[in-house]
Structure 1
Amino acid sequence: MAKVIAFNKPFGVICQFSGEGDTLANYVNIPDIYPVGRLDKDSEGLVILTDDGYLQNRVSDPKYKKIKTYVVQVEGEITNTATSALEKGVKLKDGMTKPASIKKIEEPDWLWDRSNPIRKRKNIPTSWIEISISEGRNRQVRRMTACVGFPTLRLIRISVDRWKLGNIKVGSYVSF
């Protein structure tokens, strides 16, 4: 039976088991498992790990259109024009994004403190959105929000396909 692990990746952790710096190996000591997709070093939240190559491919390959959902803090009060553009898809250097599902939200009450705090500017407010995408381009959500004029300050993945972050503590994991 396949091993499937849901890990809450902290900010600054590199989404691989080997190499320099803070890696998955510092948190998960289970042999022969690999991340299903990646989260960049500056992002936090749900990373699925498995020893099943078929499952890994089915979830990470964009042709299967598996939905990934993120909670995102952006710089500025995001506008309806910006969210509408994100919903339709935006043109990035590597082409148009597929339509996304977007909703404005309040700052989540379950947020944990981050090891490297978000910069705060006195005269520039921030806002929060929940965004769901079916692609997985490099730094896609960050590039999308920047494209519509609202740079990402904090990005937390809360679900990948059927797996949810739930109450997994930062730096911890659960098995399925």
Structure 2
Amino acid sequence: MSQNILLFNKPYHVLSQFTDTASRQHLGHYINEPGFYAAGRLDYDSEGLMLLTNDGKIQHHVAGSDTHKSYLIQVEGRVQAKHLQQLRQGVKVKDYVARALHAETLAKKPAWLWKRNPPIRVRQNIPTSWMMLTINQGKNRQVRRMSAAVGLPVLRLVRTQIGPYELGQMQPGEYKIEKYPSKQ
């Protein structure tokens, strides 16, 4: 069997698994490709790139800490240089220190980003802003906890890249299968 990787743009409020006993949307509602398993997860409240594979070694490699993961994040409040510096230096999250490999402010929402359904909550007197964050860990709700630790609660989180794989122009619910390069 050839080694393949499936790139999936996980919509908001979809579980990162193929079944659910509570009748919520899950991967099985979107992907009908036997033998593929998630290489890492993405929170139910998060959107964007997920990788699935038909090879256990690839699954372990992609989910590991050597693989960089990038996120587009909309936060409550204005991202300032001090927030970015704290994220790069590392913040205490639960029982570990989480550090961003890269953190930057974006001037506005990227033009390519789709509207979320339902839209985020909006508070008239509290501004929002956008940032990009890259990490090499992948602990449960890590990016949300990191952002909250510096005083910027996450309103929307979209994973845009995992290692060399990018979300590109895929719309929510779309996927594509690629041959996994043997020199990874």
- Which TM bucket (shorter chain)? over 0.9
Q: What is the CA-CA distance between 1:99 and the residue it aligns to?
A: 3.9
Taking every aligned residue pair, what percent have the same amino acid on both sides?
43
* 1:137 paired residue number: 139
Alignment of 1:48-127 (within 5 A): 48-62=51-65, 65-105=66-106, 106-127=108-129
**Matched residues in 1 for 2:86 and 2:101: separation?**
9
Change (3 A) 1:158 1:75: same
Equivalenced residues, count: 174
Q: What is the CA-CA distance between 1:18 and the residue it aligns to?
A: 1.3
- Which amino acid in structure 2 is aligned with residue 100 of structure 1? L
Q: What is the CA-CA distance between 1:100 and the residue it aligns to?
A: 2.7
**Matched residues in 1 for 2:135 and 2:175: separation?**
24
Q: Deviations over 1:88-137 (max 9, x none)?
A: 11111121113431010121111111112101111100000000000001
CA RMSD after TM alignment: 0.9
TM-score w.r.t. length of structure 2: 0.92
* 2:165 paired residue number: 163
Could you list the runs of 5+ residues in structure 1 that have no partner in the other structure? none
Aligned-partner SS, 2:43: coil
Contact 2:103 2:134 in 1 (8 A): yes
- Which amino acid in structure 1 is aligned with residue 31 of structure 2? V
- Which amino acid in structure 2 is aligned with residue 16 of structure 1? Q
Runs of 4+ in 1 over 3 A off after TM superposition: none
* 2:9 paired residue number: 8
Of 29, 32, 54 in structure 2, the residue corresponding to residue 29 of structure 1 is 32
**Matched residues in 1 for 2:19 and 2:64: separation?**
23
**Matched residues in 2 for 1:8 and 1:74: separation?**
21
**Matched residues in 2 for 1:19 and 1:44: separation?**
18
* 1:42 paired residue number: 45
Contact 1:35 1:48 in 2 (8 A): yes
**Matched residues in 1 for 2:64 and 2:51: separation?**
14
Aligned-partner SS, 2:20: coil
* 2:176 paired residue number: 174
**Matched residues in 2 for 1:140 and 1:99: separation?**
10
Could you list the runs of 5+ residues in structure 2 that have no partner in the other structure? 179-184
Contact 1:89 1:100 in 2 (8 A): no
TM-score w.r.t. length of structure 1: 0.96
